[in-house]
Structures are given as structure tokens and as C-alpha cells.
Amino acid sequence: MLIPIDVINSLKSLPCFTEVRAISLLANGLSQTALKVTTATQVFFAKKLNEETASTEISCALLYAGLNIKDVSEQRIEQQLSPQVIYHDQHWLVTDFISGLTLTDTKLNNDRKISIALNMMAELHQFPLELAKYPIPLLIPTCSVKRLLTKPAPFLISHSCTLDKVTKSLSASINSLILDSTSSNVICHGDLNLTNILLDDGQRPWLIDFECAHVAPEEFDLAMFIAVNNIADQYITKIVAEYMSLVPGYRPNRNLLNYYILYSLYINGLWYFDNIDPLEPDNPMYALGIEQWSAFDIFTNEHAIAVPKLMSIINGGVDERR
């Protein structure tokens, strides 16, 4: 895939670069354009930011790189979970380039991958909200779904009534459970896919891609981690127990976790389907969307949760195309 000339020109004009020698496109599961920029003296990672989430991503990148910009207290953060930030504006985020593999691509066994991810999550949740340079948005399920459905895939339009019922049902349950929960709000990564954790050549993990970050109970990050990595139901108890061992004061609200898992599977499927144009069953994103919504239906059955099924939408969409 060729890099558009306007993107190259925009990148070269940034004040942090001198004598750019090479620009190459990266994938690594990132939802926005991501590039490797090689200069005469250094290699950089550059990400083109989404206008709606730019402030959030910049704020988290600075915070988790250990750059405490907002002077709110004498408290200092020693951990560095993310690469050093070199430059940022409302269009670009430039950081050190981490040479290594995503956690998905390593040869580590699944238990080890999960342990590394949960350790990163636990450390991430320890950073105080007030240290962020810019406010991190509060997670409001109905608003997140509304953004995803701004330009829905054509086959979803005819099923708007079902989607509305699912959205309202999940949101009402989550909001009710939060009122009765003792879980505290933290900065959640919001997309702890194993592709968003890099393991460098020295086996040190680094966390990237904060586009989906929100303030929410810890259960949301656990739920999204389970959903986006397609972790089977029988392993959830073990994952929660391991997280509790890392955050001793944490007491999970399992009902809230269950509804956040459904919410995560729901919005993940919406995102995958919205990024297919035209809708083609052979497209890898179509398969990922099916995977998430199939898991949604299975989870509702196994936990006796009364929410409309999502695969009926897919089946209806397929029938309509015929």
C-alpha cells in the first residue's frame, strides 16, 4: 500500500525531523495511519491522529511515557509504560521507535502473554487521573455506540431497531450496576489487544495506541481485554484472580464485568463491520466481526442474560444481500 503524498509531505514538515531518509507504513493492528520514519540519526514511530481522539491519545502517551506535564502535586510517576514522546500536535504523535514484536507475534505461550498484558493493565490503572495533561473522557456506552453508528455499514441500517434495543439494554444494566459498585474509576486503555503491546529486543513490554482510552471502572478494561483477544469464558475467573493478585485492593463486580464483556463484544463487532466497504464475507474484518458477535450470543446464553441476539442481524443481512 502506497503512502499518500500529502501524508509524506505533512510528516516531513514536522519540526522534529531533519534529513528524513525513509518512511515506511506499519500495520500492527493500529486503526490510524502509522509510520516508521528513519532519519540520519534516529528511527521514529509516527501516528496520524484521529481528530476526535487526538487530545486523549496525546495525554495518555505523555502520561505513560513518564512525562508529568500537568503540575498538580509533588507526586512523581517513575514507571514508563509507553515509548518516549518526541513531538505532538493535533495531527501527529511522534515517539521513539520500539524495535521488537507485538505480543501476538512472539513465541511466548498464551499464559505468559496474558500475564504480561495484565501486569501492564495493573500498572496503567495505578496512574492518578489528575496527572493527565488533558481530560480523559468518561466512558458512556450509548455515546460510544452512537459514534460507531454515525455512518453504519449498509446492512446494519435495516436492523437499527434491534441495535437500539441492544444499546439501551446494555447501557441501562451497566449504569445501574455502576451505582451499586465499589469499583473506582481509572484510566482504561480501552483496547488492550495483544497487538497493542510491544516486546522489545530486551524483552521489555511497551504499551501503545491510546485512541480508545476512557475513564471507567477497572471491569471495563478487563472486559475489553477478554473480548478483543477472544478469550474463552472458562478462563475469565483465572484472569480476574490474576488481576486481583496484582491489585490487592481490587474487588471485582462480576455482574458489571459480564455486561462490559457483552458491551465490548458488541462495539468491537460494530467497528469491524463499519470498516468493511463493501461488505464482503471474505474480508478478514468480516470474520473478526462474526467472531465477536457470535461470542456475544454464546455469552448471553451461558449467563442467561436477556439481550437481543446479534447473529440474527448478520443472518438477516446475508439474506437481504441475496
Q: Are 83 and 128 in contact (CB under 8 A)?
A: no
Task: Please tell me whether residues 25 and 127 are part of one structural domain.
Answer: no
- Identify the CATH number of the domain in which residue 144 sits: 3.90.1200.10
Q: Let me know whether 171 and 191 are in one domain.
A: yes
Residues contacting 162, CB < 8 A, separation 6+? 308, 312, 313
What's the pLDDT score for residue 320? 37
**According to the 3-state scheme, what is the secondary structure of the chain?**
CCCCHHHHHHHHCCCCCCCEEEEEEECCCCCCCEEEEEECCCEEEEEECCCCCHHHHHHHHHHHCCCCCCCCCCCCCCCCCCCCEEEECCCEEEEECCCEEEHHHCCCCHHHHHHHHHHHHHHHHCCCHHHCCCCCCECCHHHHHHHHCCCCCHHHHCCHHHHHHHHHHHHHHHHHHHHCCCCCEEEECCCCCHHHEEEECCCCEEECCCCCCEEEEHHHHHHHHHHHCCCCHHHHHHHHHHHHHHCCCCCCCHHHHHHHHHHHHHHHHHHHHHCCCCCCCCCHHHHHHHHHHHHHHHHHHHCCCCCCCCHHHHHHHHHHHC
Provide the domain limits for residue 53.
5-101
Q: pTM of this prediction?
A: 0.92
Domain match, 198 and 88 both: no
Question: CB-hemisphere CA count at 13 Å for 202?
Answer: 3
Residue 17 contacts residue 11 (beta carbons within 8 Å): yes
201 and 249: one domain? yes
The residue among 55, 83, 101 that closes a domain is 101
Question: Are 181 and 92 members of one domain?
Answer: no
How many domains does the chain divide into? 2
pLDDT at 73: 47
Q: Which of 46, 71, 101 is the last residue of a domain?
A: 101
Is residue 289 domain-shared with residue 315, that is, in the same domain? yes
Say what the pLDDT of residue 318 is: 45
My answer on whether 155 and 23 are in the same domain is no
Residues 12 and 116 grouped into a single domain? no
Which value, to the nearest 10 degrees, does the dihedral of the CA atoms of residues 15, 18, 24, 25 take?
A: -10
Residue 318 grid coordinates: 446475508
Q: Does 253 lie in the same domain as 232? A: yes
Backbone φ and ψ of 223, nearest 5°: -65, -45
Together in a domain, 128 and 255? yes
The one-letter code for the residue type at 194 is L
Quick one: 137 and 158 in the same domain? yes
pLDDT tens over the chain, length 322 residues: 688 999 999 999 999 998 899 999 987 555 678 999 999 999 999 999 999 999 999 999 999 998 544 444 444 445 799 999 999 999 999 999 999 999 999 999 999 999 999 999 999 999 999 989 899 999 999 999 999 998 888 888 889 999 999 999 999 999 999 998 888 899 999 999 999 999 999 999 999 999 999 999 999 999 999 999 999 999 999 999 999 999 988 999 999 999 999 999 999 999 998 877 666 667 888 899 999 999 999 999 999 999 999 999 988 654 333 3
* Residues 141 and 204 reside in one and the same domain: yes
pLDDT recorded at residue 274: 84
Cα 190 → chain centroid: 4
Of the residues 67, 101, 135, which one is the last residue of a structural domain?
101
R_g of the chain computed on alpha carbons = 20
